[in-house]
Amino acid sequence: MHEWGKHERVIVFDGVCNWCNVWVNFALARDPHGKFKFGTLQSPQAQQILNDLRLPADDFETFLLLEQGRVYTKSTAALRIVRHLSGWWPLLYLGIAIPPPLRDAVYDYVARRRYRLMGKSETCRAPTPAERERFV
């Protein structure tokens, strides 16, 4: 078992992607019970997971959701996350009924343009002291 497997849910994101960091902040703000932990795709732990899954380890196509020993990517990961957020966000989980190839086509469209949309940082996101316990 991977060391992050001890956590029930870990969102693994591109730490230098400003678009991704906006969504991490969004999830943190709507996860008052701390259901999710967070890690960056650039970390050694995530690099090993990407290698095991035969996913690119430097040109990230997706983020990962590690949930109860399983790995989810792209739109499926996003939908599985929103179903655990506070407010009305879990209603978006109904999108799981849309066939994955259609959902992932939209996901891929945005993912390919994320750096152009919001830019890229020089270094990975560092959690604030208040957030530190939420990051692995």
What digits encode the pLDDT tens for the residues 41-99?
999 999 988 888 888 888 888 899 999 989 999 999 999 999 999 999 999 999 999 99
The pLDDT tens digits of the residues spanning 98-115 come to 999 999 999 999 999 999
The pLDDT confidence band at residue 1, using thresholds 50, 70 and 90, is low
Q: What is the pTM of this model?
A: 0.92
| Sole residue written with tokens 């020089």 | 122
How open is the CA angle 40-36-54, to the nearest 5 degrees? 45
- pLDDT > 70? residue 10: yes
d(CA 55, CA 84): 26
CATH code at 90? 3.40.30
Structural domain including 121 reads: 3-134
Residue that is written with structure tokens 């739109």 in the block: 75
Number of domains present in the structure of the chain: 1
